[in-house]
Amino acid sequence: MIYLVRHGQTVFNAEGRLQGHVDSPLTELGRDQARQAGAALARLTEGGAGWRIISSPLGRAQDTAEAIRQALGAPAIETDDRLIELSWGEWDGRLRADLKAQHPEAFGETGWAFTAPIGESFEAARARLGGWLGALPPEPERRIIAVSHGVSGRILRGVYANLPRAETLAQAVPQDATFRLSGGAIERLDF
């Protein structure tokens, strides 16, 4: 089983900026969301004994994972670069509204641009996240709490459920919920 959590709200989220590999700190709401995630996961995992916490290396995910670690009393957070957010290349840190005005064709129906200059492609992100998923112990031995990001979390869920691209990108990316990936099914659990 995997509990997949998106980091709490950041300053860039609140400003409408693409973050990618650029980091920004959690807002007060984001810190509260991280604490709520920890409390919810402590209940869902019955205290967290035997569960691994694996996080993206970016600060916003690490800060969220730390709040979860504290709630579970877990000894450590593992970091895995494959859980990092999609890189938007030259667009990392830019305002989404400005980019849509300058490159309306790039955002298409889903609102996600995989054509950013020197950005990561959907296929590359899917392969990266599929590699992470494939390296985990098989179910039912899998007991993982993964802390990742909006687009990477969408793609990871898409890989897990073998969803087509459009359906993968249409999934919600809440910062106040976790997704339970178990037995081939995905279940959203709101905090």
| pLDDT value of position 115 | 76
Q: What is the mean pLDDT of residues 2-9?
A: 98
Q: Where are the alpha helices (DSSP H) in 20-58?
A: 28-44
pTM for this prediction: 0.95
Among this protein's residues, is 103 annotated catalytic? no
Q: How confident is the model at residue 25 (pLDDT cuts 50, 70, 90)?
A: very high
Q: What is the mean pLDDT of residues 127-149?
A: 95
Task: Find, among 159, 34, 156, the residue nearest to 42 by Cα.
Answer: 34
As a residue count, the chain comes to 191
Catalytic-role residue among 7, 28, 109, 139: 7
Catalytic-role residue among 85, 103, 109, 149: 85
Q: Where are the alpha helices (DSSP H) in 28-172?
A: 28-44, 59-72, 96-102, 104-107, 122-135, 150-161, 165-169
| pLDDT value of position 28 | 98
What does the block give as tokens for 62? Answer: 């690490």
Task: Find, among 54, 8, 47, the residue nearest to 27 by Cα.
Answer: 8
Helix (H) / strand (E) element for 11: namely helix 11-15
Q: What is the mean pLDDT of residues 182-189?
A: 96
Q: What is the mean pLDDT of residues 114-143?
A: 92
Domain count along the chain: 1
Give residue 137's domain range: 2-190
Whether the link from the prior residue into 140 is cis, omega within 30° of 0, is yes
| pLDDT value of position 110 | 65
Rounded to whole angstroms, the Cα distance separating 161 from 182 reads 10
When mean pLDDT is compared across 17-26, 34-43, 79-88, 105-114, the lowest value belongs to 105-114
94: domain CATH number is 3.40.50.1240
